[in-house]
């Protein structure tokens, strides 16, 4: 089954909103949910639908961090117009976000057939959940947690932005998990690494959703499910962002590491038993 109705859209919107910014893999959870609902997880309409409803989640970042984004955008525009305004960190950071998005765009376009084909398998999701949890544990356990937002450098942005490729190629690895883990390995504090993950995801996720819109509509997904799924993901994601930032300010990422391992092992078991198809 590949058709998506309003009911399925609500469920997938909730899953997307909860998991997009938590380091547990939204793509992985969406594919698991789709598999449990009997959907063809690698069909073009389903893949496109999940990319489109990400726009709702990413819109919540624009709303939640509106003041910060407006500050970056204002500094960038001032720097474009006035040479003497180009020395500030906000101006530089705006450019870094743009530069850091280029690698994932190039890989995404070059490897599109693999990403939507063999790499979309739930076996890949299960393995990536577990491997990614190990990397997150090491990053959180051995990262120095010394540097704050204002100390983010160009190298930080490029390395963290580039790490998004892992999640692109291996659904289940988690975009936020990869970027947060990289930030922690680079010595950023937990909140700083998490916020950097949010900002660097804005261009890539927005672009992916808009790019896939034609396939979702043209592939038979109705406008109503798309609107409902996107709206639900927006509301739920906004709540998730607020919760995550409060949580990481006082706790480590151990709960996410354990959760990812449990889900990965459970998924292997379900696939092996034939309960869901890969």
Asked, for residue 56, whether it belongs to a domain, the answer is yes
Asked, for residue 222, whether it belongs to a domain, the answer is yes
- What would the pLDDT profile of 193-248 be if each residue is shown by its tens digit? 999 999 998 998 888 777 777 666 666 678 899 999 999 999 999 999 999 999 99
pLDDT of residue 248: 96
- What would the pLDDT profile of 73-107 be if each residue is shown by its tens digit? 999 999 999 999 999 999 999 999 999 999 999 99
Give 147-152 contacts, CB < 8 A, sequence gap 24+: 147/186, 147/187, 147/188, 147/189, 147/192, 148/188, 148/189, 148/192, 149/192, 149/195, 149/196, 150/89, 151/188, 151/192, 152/93, 152/96, 152/188, 152/192, 152/196
Asked, for residue 277, whether it belongs to a domain, the answer is no
197 lies in which domain range?
6-272
E-assigned strand segments in 123-232:
none
Asked, for residue 147, whether it belongs to a domain, the answer is yes
Asked, for residue 162, whether it belongs to a domain, the answer is yes
Asked, for residue 278, whether it belongs to a domain, the answer is no
pLDDT of residue 37: 87
Asked, for residue 217, whether it belongs to a domain, the answer is yes
pLDDT of residue 187: 97
Asked, for residue 1, whether it belongs to a domain, the answer is no
What is the average pLDDT score of the chain? 91
Give the pTM.
0.90
Residues in CB range of 10: below 8 A, 6 or more apart = 228, 229, 232
- What would the pLDDT profile of 38-68 be if each residue is shown by its tens digit? 887 777 788 788 888 888 998 999 999 999 9
Report the number of distinct structural domains present in the chain. Answer: 1
Residues in CB range of 243: below 8 A, 6 or more apart = none
CB-neighbour burial class of residue 194 (10 A; exposed 0-12, middle 13-18, buried 19+): buried
Please tell me the distance from the alpha carbon of residue 231 to that of residue 255, in angstroms, as a whole number: 28
């Amino acid at each position: 089954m590949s058709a998506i109705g309003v009911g399925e859209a609500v469920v997938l919107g909730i899953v997307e909103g909860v998991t997009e910014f938590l380091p547990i893999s939204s793509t992985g959870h969406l594919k698991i949910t789709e598999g449990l609902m009997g959907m063809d997880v690698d069909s073009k309409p389903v893949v496109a639908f999940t990319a489109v409803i990400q726009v709702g989640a990413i819109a919540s970042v624009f709303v939640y961090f509106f003041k910060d984004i407006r500050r970056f955008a204002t500094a960038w525009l001032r720097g474009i117009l006035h040479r003497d305004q180009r020395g500030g960190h906000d101006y530089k950071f705006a450019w870094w976000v743009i530069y850091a998005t280029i690698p994932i765009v190039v890989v995404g376009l070059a490897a599109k057939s693999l990403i939507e084909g063999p790499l979309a398998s739930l076996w890949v999701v299960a393995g990536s959940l577990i491997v990614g949890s190990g990397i997150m544990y090491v990053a959180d356990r051995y990262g120095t947690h010394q540097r704050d937002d204002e100390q983010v450098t160009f190298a930080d942005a490029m390395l963290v932005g580039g790490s998004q490729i892992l999640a692109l190629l291996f659904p289940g690895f988690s975009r936020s998990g990869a970027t947060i883990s990289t930030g922690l390995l680079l010595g950023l504090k937990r909140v700083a690494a998490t916020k950097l993950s949010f900002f660097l995801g804005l261009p890539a996720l927005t672009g992916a959703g808009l790019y896939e819109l034609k396939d979702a509509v043209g592939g038979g997904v109705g406008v109503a499910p798309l609107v409902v799924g996107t709206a639900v993901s927006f509301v739920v994601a906004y709540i998730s962002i607020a919760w995550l930032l409060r949580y990481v300010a006082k706790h480590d990422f151990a709960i996410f590491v354990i959760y990812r391992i449990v889900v990965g092992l459970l998924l292997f078991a379900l696939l092996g038993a034939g309960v869901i198809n890969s």
